[in-house]
Amino acid sequence: MEKRKEEIIEQINKAIAAHFSWKIKLKKAIDFGNSELSVENIKKDSVCGFGEWLYTMPNEYEKNEYYQNVKKIHANFHVVASKIVELAISGNKEKANKLFLDNNGDYVKTSTLLTLELAKWRDSF
């Protein structure tokens, strides 16, 4: 069980770092009007490395409050990120930037909430 906890903590730390890298991906999509990932794949929260891992967690974790919160927020993060990329590649740079940069906007709120919830889950071990 101790090894399992270490793996979870490691995966959560990787997820926190990976979601910070989304800022760069989204900014590039806005600046250049294209993305290496399709909007549909971005929208799928089970396609990224963390999502793949999250969806393979043993059933015992599905009742864990932190797991449930992270899974829900992570899914929402991908929906918001896909909206930004969709706007960016359709030439609506201004709206994409607003959604991305607005401190009260969905991206900042969701990204911050996800990072905080991931940290709470990690610290619960």
pLDDT at 74: 97
Any idea where the domains of the chain sit in the sequence? 2-123
Distance (Å, whole) CA 15 – CA 18: 5
105-115 confidence digits (pLDDT tens): 899 999 999 99
N- to C-terminal Cα separation, the chain = 11
At the top level of CATH, the class of 2-123 is mainly alpha
The yes-or-no verdict on residue 1 having pLDDT over 60 is no
* Digit-coded pLDDT (tens) for 20-63: 899 999 999 999 999 999 999 999 999 999 999 999 998 888 89
For residue 26, what pLDDT is reported?
Answer: 96
Are 46 and 55 spatial neighbours (Cβ–Cβ below 8 Å)?
yes
Could you tell me the pTM of the whole model? 0.91
